[in-house]
C-alpha cells in the first residue's frame, strides 16, 4: 500500500529547509495539514503533519535521540509521498500524525558532523547526545516541553493502531527492530519482511542478546522488545544512581499503549556505521570489541593525532543514507500491513 520510493537521498536535509518542504507538501494536497505542536526548550518550533481520515490511527515520530538523524529524513519523504495521488488508498485506511523531528534543539547541536557525513572522524568528535535522565524517548508525558507537546498530540489520535519511533545506532553489525512485547509473537509478517529487506540491501541482522538489560529482551536474532521506563529505572538503581533513575518516565511506546487500544509499537534501529567482523549467536564480537576501543580512539583524535593513523584499518564502513532510508521505509510499510492484517 505504501508506494516504493522512486528516489533516495544521499545527503541530509538542512533543518532550515524542512518546514518549507512540509509546507509545499501540505499545500499540494487537501488531505494534509501542517500544524505546530509546540516549541522546544530553546524556542524552536515542533512541526508535524496530519494526513488522512481512515479508521486506524498512526503516530510516527523521529529524532528523539539527537544523534540519530536518518528517521527525520525518512519521515520528511513520507510526508511528501502522502501528498501525491499514489497514496489515496492509504489515506482512506489510516489517519496519520507525523512529526519528523521531535528534538530540534538536539538536532542543532549535531549539525557539525551531520554536514560532514559520512566522515567517521567528524562523527566521533562531534556527536552530541542527551545524558540519561534527559532522554526524550523516556520522558512521556511531561519530562520536557517537547514531550508534553507530543503527548497531547498523540492523545488526540487515541486509540492508536500503530506507533513508530524511528531511531538509529551509531555503530552495529547490521539491522535491528524493536517490537513491543505484546506484539512480538504476532508480528511475523513484519519480522520476516524486514529481514528480507535487510538481506536485499546487503545487511545481516544485528544479533545482540542483552539478556533483559534496560528492558531489551531478545525475540529472535535482530529483534528485541522495546525498552520500558521501569526497566531503565531498575538499571540505574542497580548502578547506585537513584537521581538518574528518578528522571526516567515512560517511553513513547508505553505512552501510546496507555492511551487505550492495542497498538503495534515499533522502533527502527539502523546503524550510521557498520562494524564488520566475527560474531556468534547473540554476541556481536566485532561490534563489542570496537565499542571498547572507541573511547581511546576519540581521545587520540582530540589530542590531534592524524585521523589517517587513528582510524586506519578499522573494520568499519558507513551505511549509505539511501540504504538506511529504504530500510526504514520498508519497516513503515510492513508495520502498516501488519496492522491491517491483524485487524482483518
What is the reported pLDDT for 51? 98
User: Tell me, what DSSP letter sits at residue 205?
Assistant: B
Report if residue 4 sits inside a domain.
no
Task: Categorise residue 205: left if φ over 0, alpha if ψ from -120 to 50, beta otherwise.
Answer: beta
Predicted pLDDT of residue 344: 54
What is the count of structural domains for the chain?
Answer: 1
Record the pTM: 0.97
122 C-beta neighbours (distance < 10 Å), count: 17
The DSSP letter of residue 5 is: P
Q: How far apart are CA 333 and CA 328, in angstroms?
A: 9
- Residue 336 φ/ψ, nearest 5 degrees: -60, -40
Distance in angstroms (rounded) separating the CA atoms of residues 95 and 51:
6
Residue 8 lies in a domain: no
Q: What is the pLDDT of residue 248?
A: 93
Q: Is 12 exposed, middle or buried (0-12, 13-18, 19+ CB in 10 A)?
A: middle
167 phi and psi angles, rounded to 5 deg:
-120, -170
In a domain, 10, yes or no: no
167 domain residue, yes or no: yes
344 residues of the chain, pLDDT tens digit each: 798 898 999 999 999 999 999 999 999 999 999 999 999 999 999 999 999 999 999 999 999 999 999 999 999 999 999 999 889 999 999 999 999 999 999 999 999 999 999 999 999 999 999 988 899 999 999 999 999 999 999 999 999 999 999 999 999 999 999 999 999 999 999 999 999 999 999 999 999 999 999 989 999 999 999 999 999 999 999 999 999 999 999 999 999 999 999 999 999 999 999 999 999 999 999 999 999 999 999 999 999 999 999 999 999 999 999 999 999 999 999 999 999 997 65
- Locate 9 and state its grid cell: 537521498
What is the span of the domain harbouring residue 323? 15-343
Q: CATH number of the domain at 39, please.
A: 3.40.630.10
pLDDT at 290: 97
Beta carbons of 157 and 59 less than 8 angstroms apart? yes
Q: Helices 70-82 and 321-343 meet at what angle, rounded to 10? A: 60
7 lies in a domain? no
The reported pLDDT for the residue numbered 30 is: 95
Contact yes or no for 235/135 (Cβ under 8 A) = no
CB 164 within 8 A of CB 331: yes
Amino acid at each position: 500500500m505504501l508506494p516504493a520510493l522512486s528516489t533516495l537521498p544521499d545527503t541530509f536535509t538542512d533543518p532550515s529547509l524542512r518546514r518549507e518542504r512540509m509546507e509545499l507538501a501540505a499545500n499540494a494536497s487537501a488531505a494534509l495539514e501542517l500544524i505546530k505542536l509546540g516549541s522546544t526548550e530553546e524556542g524552536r518550533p515542533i512541526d508535524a503533519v496530519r494526513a488522512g481520515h481512515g479508521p486506524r490511527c498512526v503516530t510516527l515520530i523521529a529524532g528523539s535521540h539527537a544523534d540519530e538523524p536518518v528517521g527525520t529524513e525518512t519521515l520528511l519523504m513520507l510526508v511528501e509521498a502522502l501528498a501525491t495521488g499514489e497514496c489515496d488508498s492509504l489515506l482512506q485506511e489510516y489517519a496519520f500524525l507525523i512529526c519528523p523531528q521531535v528534538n530540534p534543539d538536539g538536532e542543532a547541536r549535531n549539525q557539525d558532523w551531520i554536514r560532514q557525513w559520512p566522515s567517521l572522524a567528524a562523527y566521533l568528535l562531534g556527536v552530541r547526545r542527551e545524558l540519561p535522565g534527559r532522554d526524550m524517548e523516556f520522558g512521556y508525558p511531561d519530562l520536557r516541553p517537547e514531550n508534553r507537546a507530543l503527548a497531547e498530540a498523540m492523545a488526540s489520535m487515541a486509540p492508536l493502531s500503530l506507533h513508530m519511533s524511528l531511531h538509529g545506532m551509531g555503530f552495529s553489525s547490521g539491522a535491528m527492530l524493536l517490537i513491543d512485547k505484546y506484539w512480538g509473537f504476532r508480528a511475523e509478517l513484519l519480522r520476516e519482511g524486514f529481514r528480507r529487506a535487510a538481506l536485499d540491501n546487503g545487511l545481516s541482522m544485528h544479533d545482540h542478546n542483552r539478556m533483559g538489560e534496560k528492558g531489551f529482551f531478545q525475540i529472535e536474532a535482530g529483534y528485541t522488545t522495546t525498552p520500558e521506563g521501569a526497566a531503565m529505572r531498575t538499571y540505574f538503581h542497580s548502578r547506585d544512581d537513584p537521581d538518574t533513575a528518578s528522571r526516567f518516565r515512560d517511553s513513547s511506546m508505553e505512552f501510546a499503549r496507555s492511551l487505550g487500544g492495542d497498538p503495534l509499537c515499533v522502533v527502527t534501529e539502523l546503524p550510521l556505521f557498520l562494524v564488520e567482523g566475527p560474531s556468534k549467536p547473540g554476541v556481536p564480537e566485532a561490534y563489542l570489541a570496537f565499542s571498547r576501543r572507541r573511547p581511546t580512539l576519540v581521545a587520540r583524535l582530540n589530542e590531534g593525532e592524524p585521523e589517517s593513523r587513528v582510524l586506519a584499518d578499522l573494520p568499519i564502513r558507513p551505511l549509505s543514507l539511501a540504504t538506511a532510508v529504504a530500510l526504514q521505509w520498508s519497516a513503515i510499510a510492513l508495520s502498516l500491513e501488519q496492522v491491517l492484517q491483524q485487524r482483518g
